[in-house]
Structure 1
Amino acid sequence: MRILVAHPWSDPNASWDIAVEHLPGWDVRVCRGDDILANLNGVDVLVPMPNAVTAEIIEAGSFGLIQQYGVGLERVDVEAATANGVWVARLPAGLTGNADSVAEMAVAQILMAIRRMDESRAAVATGWWQPISASLLGSTVAIVGLGAIGTAVAQRLAGFGCRMIAVRAHPEAGAPPSVDRVAGPDELYDVLGQADVVICSAMASAATRHLFDAAAFAACKPGAIFVNVARGVMVDDPALLAALDSGRISLAGLDVFQQEPVGPDHPFARHPRVIATPHIGGLTHSMLAKSSELFGANVARWSRGQEPLWAVNSPQHPRQIPPR
């Protein structure tokens, strides 16, 4: 059986051994994200990583499973996959440790911003001393998206003495005890107006594309800190740039971007009010180890003729994989 991985970790030389250590005997190929079509021969399972899987790719291949090595499937044409008999599955962030790793990154971004870490480091280098910063103690934090990642963020912020408000699609689902209030999407702007720190940890979808646009940033409390550890598509880039330049947003911590990888000429790459990291929130040794186990088990399950776990579709006539 053959797996095709589309450019893991944005590094063509990266080893994929950890991902398939639970699939002995499987043939694993790696290709660039823009070269998937040319590498589909004999492929049974496609791992898209951050790359697009279009209807053209799906129709050109004979693979029966698109198995993401993580959560994100926003660039996979699930409708075309379903119509062509292809299963599409993800690995839940709450089971792989991805949510915990991303939550740590969110807290790190917040602390770096609120404690003015870049300025403080520069102060030591230039002889300036004792720059004054803010504190999470007594501040209000808005967590937009209270799924596995948002919940993990709330749990980690519980000891910092801040007030937390959450916005989630289904507020009736509740929140951890540390969250003071849970609001629905229709109350987003009201919540943004109260927050000293805003964290985007929501699931990317057509409904949440550019959730943070000019109107959302205008609704933010002046001088608020904005952190995005969800997906870059959630943010209207020109609107965030304008908010940063006007001071409406004092600092932004960004681990995700609309186009990745971000080049040195990207406006966020060297912006003095942006703490940019290369989508590494979930990339920890513990996450990779657990993901490898779940990935291998789910692919093996599908290869035995069983429905894959954590599928987002249910094709009526699944593709039959020819014997090798």
Structure 2
Amino acid sequence: MRVFFAARAGLWDAWAPALRAACPEIELTRTGDPASFDALIYAPGFPEDGSELDFTPFIRARLVQSLWAGVERIVTNPTLTQPLCRMVDPGLARGMAEYCTGWAMRAHLGMDAYAQDGTWRHGAVPPLAANRRITILGMGELGRACATALTGLGFDVTGWSQSGRPVAGIPTLPGPALHQALARAEILICLLPDTAQTQDLLNADTLALLPPGATIINAGRGTLIDETALIAALDKGRPAHAVLDVFRHEPLPPDHPFWRHPGVTVTPHIAAETRPTTAAPVAAENLRRAMRGEPLLYLVDRSRGY
């Protein structure tokens, strides 16, 4: 099985050994006749000259396996006719759950309220987790992992997704109930993909539905939030704080107002990373399925964009 590594050269040293260990039968390479490859391993940033990859010459390829969970930077490529699969990495899901749980706990406990200035703030006692309402927008693999971690700590967690597909143990609201999902969200965790339906989902109107003093944690996509509307809403205290890990333009420009706003915490897109050791077995399984003509895992629905 010949596999083309369509990713930046800097990723080769970490990924090539992991992929070969997980799938010893592959011939993994970065060069060769496109018509000779049975599959591609893809990550955004390739080609490195900034052009869009032309998939047309890969006439034998039965699979394009993304190394990223998000596929918005490839799914609209008009030359892509091969099956595209997104990456569902158990290590990435674990990392996302840890990130969101950590920041949710910080908001829940009000840890930033205790300035070390000699003032005894005994009145700032948080409720127990069972009395703290958390809403998670996006109940895919990452949303479910976060919901499981947070319910394990006793939080009152409700999910929301466009489909409203039931999730075991987690009340999940459907698309039309977005207002209800936001109105209860003392802590709002955003893990939605970037699609036409999710862009600017949090805008002036929807941000106003949040309870006063709410916290937003966005580790999904920067396009989910209207940035101008968020700053205006923060100035009004609804929400009171936003922890942002993803942005419309990355790296976030040094002169962006988020850096200076007292209601914003910026983290540099580190909530969750695809880890070769845990992701390579997922790619290996799909490579084998493609060669055997079996159903692929995590096949992208291009009409939905993920």
TM-score grouping bracket, smaller chain normalisation: 0.7 to 0.9
| CA deviation profile, 1:243-294 (whole Å, cap 9, x unmatched) | 122221111122222222334333334533222222222227xx53221111
The answer on whether the counterparts of 1:298 and 1:309 sit within 8 Å (CA) in structure 2 is: yes
Query: 1:1-324, aligned counterparts within 5 Å?
Result: 1=2, 3-7=4-8, 15-21=14-20, 22-23=22-23, 26-29=27-30, 42=34, 44=37, 46-51=40-45, 57-58=53-54, 61-62=57-58, 64=61, 65-78=63-76, 80-82=78-80, 85-93=81-89, 96-118=90-112, 120=114, 123-124=115-116, 127-129=117-119, 132=124, 134-135=126-127, 137=129, 138-171=131-164, 173-177=165-169, 179=170, 181-283=171-273, 287-302=275-290, 308-312=296-300
The answer on whether the counterparts of 1:224 and 1:249 sit within 8 Å (CA) in structure 2 is: yes
The answer on whether the counterparts of 1:146 and 1:166 sit within 8 Å (CA) in structure 2 is: yes
Q: For the residues of structure 2 that align with 1:14 and 1:260, how far apart are their CA atoms?
A: 24
Q: For the residues of structure 2 that align with 1:269 and 1:26, how far apart are their CA atoms?
A: 46
| CA deviation profile, 1:84-140 (whole Å, cap 9, x unmatched) | x422112235xx3422321221111212333344564xx34xx44555464563121
Q: For the residues of structure 2 that align with 1:167 and 1:307, how far apart are their CA atoms?
A: 28
CA 235–255 in structure 1, closer or farther in 2 if over 3 Å, else same: same
CA 7–266 in structure 1, closer or farther in 2 if over 3 Å, else same: farther
Matching residue's letter, 1:224: A
User: What secondary structure, in the 3-state scheme, does the structure 2 residue paired with 1:67 have?
Assistant: strand
User: What secondary structure, in the 3-state scheme, does the structure 2 residue paired with 1:91 have?
Assistant: coil
TM-score, normalised with respect to structure 2: 0.78
Matching residue's letter, 1:193: A
Q: For the residues of structure 2 that align with 1:164 and 1:268, how far apart are their CA atoms?
A: 28
CA 50–248 in structure 1, closer or farther in 2 if over 3 Å, else same: farther
Matching residue's letter, 1:145: G
Q: For the residues of structure 2 that align with 1:308 and 1:265, how far apart are their CA atoms?
A: 44
Identity, % of aligned positions = 29
Matching residue's letter, 1:62: F
CA 19–277 in structure 1, closer or farther in 2 if over 3 Å, else same: farther
- Offset, 1:73: 0.9
Partner of 1:33: none
TM-score, normalised with respect to structure 1: 0.74
Q: For the residues of structure 2 that align with 1:40 and 1:245, how far apart are their CA atoms?
A: 55
The answer on whether the counterparts of 1:155 and 1:176 sit within 8 Å (CA) in structure 2 is: no
